[in-house]
């Protein structure tokens, strides 16, 4: 039988807790675990913040005015004449929802009496995995759902009955659209960032449609860090298109005095890697990208396509946390929880193509579709 690990061993990591299977949590000592859990959750929430920063602007606000079109022309004037007053077109509103998301733990005294530190560490890791999946689902809904929706702001701290106008990317809903970088104007009633390509297309037609998809984002002034995200199932078709420039696998050139390594294609992570370029955009396979739905995002632009809203209350704003029943005993918790929601922010900074119909259709696997 392995030796009993004493409760005064100091600070542990989640990895070390996963190895402790020969005593219960209470025998090991909750006081030796609480710091480990706090450190693990802090690290997890930091990773989540870094991961979502590519697509999302963090905010505690519930909305803003968006789409104000700034335009106008100088007029010639005489010595005593006065040019006409010109007014900018007022913008519409975009709101961001916030929901309470939970993962059941059931950490009661009875649970601690029969479960080991390894069981606790595993439950914590499971909650972190579920948390990332939930954020992914909310991001997918905000990007791939072309319908605007109304959501009651039930977890707002001061006005829980307020109805939020949650917007999709540009979808021809009639709201004003900001002018382009060179003074371009767009018809809010027809301009959409949800495109379609009917079956029976040729490779050249798909090539042209993907160029159009990228240009749909670029024409609004979003030219930094363009990413074309695709599902791995579409890799072979898209990599065969005329405008696709592939990355090469690593290989070694010898015989020149010193060996040199060429190529940067990651051969290990097949569903999450850059595979090349297309029309100025990096092409990445992503596990969260839907099959037949290539999506373009201006990830290097400060104007993020989405906003990730969190609570304005400090106790709820930090990300995934233990929902302890007693402040004096935070480990006694039935749930892990987080208050957050995702909605379109800069509606021009991303665009999606559905390969399979002349007009866009919602992906069948979209969760939380309202």
Is residue 103 within 8 A of residue 335, CB to CB? The reply is yes
Instruction: Please say whether the dihedral angle defined by the alpha carbons of residues 232, 269, 144 and 212, taken in this order, is positive or negative.
Output: negative
Q: Comparing C-alpha atoms, which of 226, 210, 219, 165 is closest to residue 191?
A: 219
Residue 326: the pLDDT is 67
How long, in residues, is the chain? Answer: 370
User: Please, which pLDDT band fits residue 5 given cuts at 50, 70 and 90?
Assistant: very low
How does pLDDT run across 50-63, given as a tens digit for each residue? 999 999 999 999 99
pLDDT exceeds 50 at position 305: yes
Render 184-218 in DSSP notation, one character per residue: ----TTT-BSEEEE-TT--HHHHHHHHHHHHHHHH
As to burial, measured by CB atoms within 10 angstroms (0-12 exposed, 13-18 middle, 19+ buried), residue 235 is middle
The predicted model gives 194-214 an average pLDDT of 98
The Cα 22–Cα 216 span in angstroms is 60
User: Please, which pLDDT band fits residue 116 given cuts at 50, 70 and 90?
Assistant: very high
Q: Comparing C-alpha atoms, which of 15, 29, 58, 353 is closest to residue 208?
A: 353
User: Please, which pLDDT band fits residue 320 given cuts at 50, 70 and 90?
Assistant: very high
The predicted model gives 109-136 an average pLDDT of 95
Share of the chain above pLDDT 70, in %: 85
Residue 307: the pLDDT is 98
Is residue 232 within 8 A of residue 271, CB to CB? The reply is yes
Residue 148: the pLDDT is 96
The Cα 81–Cα 258 span in angstroms is 76
Q: What one-character DSSP code corresponds to residue 361? A: -
Instruction: Name residue 69's beta-bridge partners.
Output: 89
Is residue 94 within 8 A of residue 8, CB to CB? The reply is no
Distance of CA 34 to the CA centre of its chain: 30
Residue 329: the pLDDT is 73
How does pLDDT run across 134-177, given as a tens digit for each residue? 999 999 999 999 999 999 999 998 889 999 999 999 999 999 99
Q: Taking the complete model, does pTM exceed 0.85, yes or no?
A: yes
Residue 259: the pLDDT is 62
Instruction: Please say whether the dihedral angle defined by the alpha carbons of residues 183, 345, 368 and 271, taken in this order, is positive or negative.
Output: positive
Mean pLDDT over the full length of the chain: 89
How does pLDDT run across 237-274, given as a tens digit for each residue? 999 999 999 998 866 666 555 666 556 788 778 899 99
Q: Where are the beta strands (DSSP E) in 129-253?
A: 149-152, 163-166, 194-197, 226-230, 244-246, 251-253
The predicted model gives 72-87 an average pLDDT of 61
Regarding predicted confidence, which is higher, 153 or 86?
Answer: 153
How does pLDDT run across 215-231, given as a tens digit for each residue? 999 999 999 999 999 99
User: Please, which pLDDT band fits residue 327 given cuts at 50, 70 and 90?
Assistant: low
């Amino acid at each position: 039988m392995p030796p009993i690990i004493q409760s005064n061993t100091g600070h542990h990591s989640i990895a070390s807790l996963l190895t402790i299977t020969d005593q219960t949590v209470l025998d090991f000592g909750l006081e030796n675990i609480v710091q480990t859990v706090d450190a693990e959750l802090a690290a997890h929430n930091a990773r989540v913040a870094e991961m979502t920063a590519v697509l999302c602007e963090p905010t505690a606000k519930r909305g803003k005015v968006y789409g104000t079109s700034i335009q106008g022309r100088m007029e010639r004037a005489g010595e005593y004449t006065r040019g006409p007053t010109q007014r900018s077109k007022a913008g519409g509103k975009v709101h961001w929802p916030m929901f309470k998301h939970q993962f059941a733990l059931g950490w009661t005294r009875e649970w601690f009496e029969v479960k080991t530190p390894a069981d606790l560490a595993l439950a914590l890791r499971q909650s972190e995995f579920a948390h990332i999946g939930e954020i992914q689902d909310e991001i997918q809904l905000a990007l791939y759902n072309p319908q605007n929706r109304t959501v009651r702001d039930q977890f707002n701290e001061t006005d829980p009955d307020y109805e939020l106008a949650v917007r999709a990317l540009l979808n021809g809903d009639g709201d004003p659209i900001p002018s382009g970088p060179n003074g371009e104007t767009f018809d809010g009633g027809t301009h959409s960032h949800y495109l379609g390509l009917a079956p029976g297309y040729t490779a050249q037609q798909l090539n042209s449609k993907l160029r159009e998809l990228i240009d749909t984002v670029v024409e609004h002034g979003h030219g930094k860090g363009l990413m074309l995200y695709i599902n791995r199932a579409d890799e072979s078709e898209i990599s065969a298109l005329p405008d696709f420039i592939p990355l090469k696998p690593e290989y070694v050139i010898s015989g020149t005095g010193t060996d040199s390594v060429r190529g940067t294609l990651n051969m290990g992570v097949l569903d999450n890697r850059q595979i090349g370029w297309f029309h100025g955009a990096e092409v990445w396979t992503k596990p969260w990208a839907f099959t037949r739905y290539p999506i373009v995002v201006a990830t290097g632009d400060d104007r993020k396509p989405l906003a990730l809203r969190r609570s304005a209350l400090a106790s709820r704003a930090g990300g995934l946390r233990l929902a302890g029943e007693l402040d004096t005993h935070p480990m006694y918790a039935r749930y892990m929880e987080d208050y957050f929601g995702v909605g379109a922010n800069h509606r021009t900074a991303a665009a999606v193509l559905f390969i399979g119909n002349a007009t866009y259709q919602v992906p069948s696997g979209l969760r939380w579709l309202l």
